Amino acid sequence: MRDIYQRCSTCIIWLGELGDIPSEAAADVFSFIEEVAAVSTTPYVRLPTLLRDTLAGEAARMAFAAFAMYGNPWWGRIWTIQEAIIPLHAVFVWGHLSVSRDDILATSRHLRSELLHAHFPESFRTKRLQHRELLRRMLYPVHGFIHSSTNDGPLDLLMRWRHREATDPRDKVYALMGLVPNNVLPTARTYDYEAPAATLFANVTFDLIQEEGGLRPFIGACEMPHQTADLPSWAIDFAACNRLGQRQLKWWGHSHRYRQFAASGSRELEASLDCDGKVLCLTGSFLDEIEEVGHVYHVPDDQPVIPRKVSSTFKDWSIIYQDWRVSHAARPLEYPSGESWESAFARTIVGDLVMEEYPIERTRYADVKHRMALQDALNSNISHPCMTSVCGMVPNQTFFVTKKGYMGVGPESTRVGDEAWVLYGGQVPFILRNTGENNGRTLVGDAYVHGIMDGERSWEGQKDVIRLC
């Protein structure tokens, strides 16, 4: 397919007939796209029909919903990614109407760019915010097209489009191979529809681990519960997907955080497969066993995070670590890393990062006054530098304390008796569960464990080989 798309002069991307959508309303959608695409040379002087509070505007918005993601099935199929990205030129055709891919890409860039806001009148900017979720149905996938053609490596590419639909789950991998260099992901190049999906997904995950030279694929393996039968805990289930919600999928937030740390220091990945590819053998160092776990604030992907509930949750977490200290009165007054317990807890609940969409810097806020100020901000919905950080760390995760007194935040499925490990090649610690057989473990997920995120501990002489099932 890649060769076909590369050789075509112009790819016609067929979105189907208009059906019940009025032709005038569909034309207003494409006019909006063409006008926004040209805004840097032809500034807006009027409000487009799509954003007007009129019957024509309402009809245009209904047409936009039918044209974009969730409305038109083209945007939901995995096999359409290649035709959207690879051809040199492409035109989207909907019924008798057409608009160039270049205009759609330019519209996405312009509506997301702060630099171009001067080209839009205030009324446009206001209505754009009002209809943000509607516009996002086009902006989100088109922004993905831009990233996939410029910045994405194979892991990000596969994770970005895993929500797309496929008749056969193996197509979640095969349909994207045209966007990946031929020497990458070798086990996916056979396009073998006789092999079980679990075998393909495990092999591709191992390829990704080798390609990355690290364990970032583990974040994808634990993003959602597995639904593919016989899939190892460490493998990414590309068949598992969900509807894109108001918040980023866990993959992106955790992946951005992962890159900021160096838990295993300079120790390089040591990985191999056993038992016909079902067992992943890794080298690492056991940190400690989890002794206490906290309350989990569950937030579905299609619902917003409520700051007040975040505040209530980390207040409960604070009580857990304080009670742990009381019950372990013989322990040193300082946290294991040498700082105060209040400082360690304050940094733990924000993952030691000041975040926006991406990490800005390591946190400088590390005392009880900071923690109380953050809690007040969450309760009052006022600004705080670490607001995004704590709203990314607390929901759908749990706080824990290990037997040695290490505090951390990890997967919501973490339970007492699970183990915190530093695995060689891993930039963050991981929570593992002992199977009780042949040194076997299952992967629970990635974690923040305060005091070991930058390779502070010396692990020499404590090297173990574990078998992840």
Per-residue pLDDT of the chain (469 residues; tens, 9 = 90+): 788 888 899 999 999 999 999 999 999 999 999 999 998 888 777 899 999 999 999 999 999 999 999 999 999 999 999 999 999 999 999 999 999 999 999 999 998 876 667 788 888 889 999 999 999 999 999 999 999 988 889 999 999 998 899 999 999 999 999 999 988 999 999 899 999 999 999 999 999 999 999 999 999 999 888 999 999 999 999 998 876 655 545 788 899 999 999 999 989 999 999 999 999 999 999 999 999 999 999 988 778 889 899 999 989 999 999 999 999 877 777 898 888 898 899 999 999 999 888 899 998 766 667 777 888 788 887 788 888 888 889 999 999 999 999 999 999 999 999 999 999 999 999 999 999 887 789 999 999 999 999 988 655 557 899 999 9
Query: Is 236 domain-assigned?
Result: no
pLDDT, position 90: 96
Say which amino acid occupies 118. Answer: A
Looking at the DSSP bridge assignments, the partners of residue 284 are 423, 464
Single out the residue in 128, 150, 172 at which a domain terminates.
Answer: 150
Residue with tokens 């990945």: 269
Query: What does pTM read for this prediction?
Result: 0.91
CA-nearest of 103, 108, 81 to 92 is: 103
Please check whether residue 122 lies inside any domain of the structure: yes
Whether 354 and 363 have beta carbons less than 8 Å apart is answered as: yes
C-alpha angle 22/85/195, rounded to 5°?
A: 110
Residue written as token pair 């993952």 = 351
Chain center to CA of 172: 17
286 and 141 share one domain: no
414 located within any domain: yes
Sort 184 into a burial class: Cβ within 10 Å, 0-12 / 13-18 / 19+.
middle
Q: Is residue 415 part of a domain?
A: yes
- Answer with the one of 112, 132, 150 that is the final residue of a domain: 150
Tokens of residue 86, six digits: 């690879």
Q: What is the 3-state secondary structure (H, E, C) of the chain?
A: CHHHHHHCCCEEEECCCCCCCCHHHHHHHHHHHHHHHCCCCCCCCCCCHHHCCCHHHHHHHHHHHHHCCCCCHHHHECCHHHHHHCCCCEEEEECCEEEEHHHHHHHHHHHHCHHHHHHCCHHHHHHHHHCHHHHHHHHHHHHHHHHHHHCCCHHHHHHHCCCCECCCCCHHHHCCHHHCCCCCCHHHCCCCCCCCHHHHHHHHHHHHHHHHCCCCHHHHHCCCCCCCCCCCCCCCCCCCCCCCCCCCCHHHHHHHHHCCCCCCCCCCCCEEEECCCCEEEEEEEEEEEEEEECCCCCCCCCCCCCHHHHHHHHHHHHHHHHHHHHHCCCCCCCCCCCCCHHHHHHHHCCCCEEECCCEEEECCCCCHHHHHHHHHHHHHCCCCCCHHHHHHHCCCEEEEEECCCCEEEEECCCCCCCEEEEECCCCCCEEEEECCCCCEEEEEEECEECCCCCCCCCCCCCCEEEEEC
- Picking from 274, 271, 291, 290, the residue whose alpha carbon sits closest to that of residue 282 is 271
| Farthest-apart Cα atoms in the chain, separation | 78
Model pLDDT, residue 453: 95
Answer yes or no: is 413 within a domain: yes
Domain assignment present for 399: yes
Is residue 301 domain-shared with residue 449, that is, in the same domain? yes
Of 116, 150, 184, the position where a domain reaches its end is 150
Which residues form the domain of 111? 2-150
Query: In this structure, is residue 23 part of a structural domain?
Result: yes
Residue 421 in domain = yes
Q: What is the pLDDT of residue 173?
A: 96
The domain total for the chain is 2
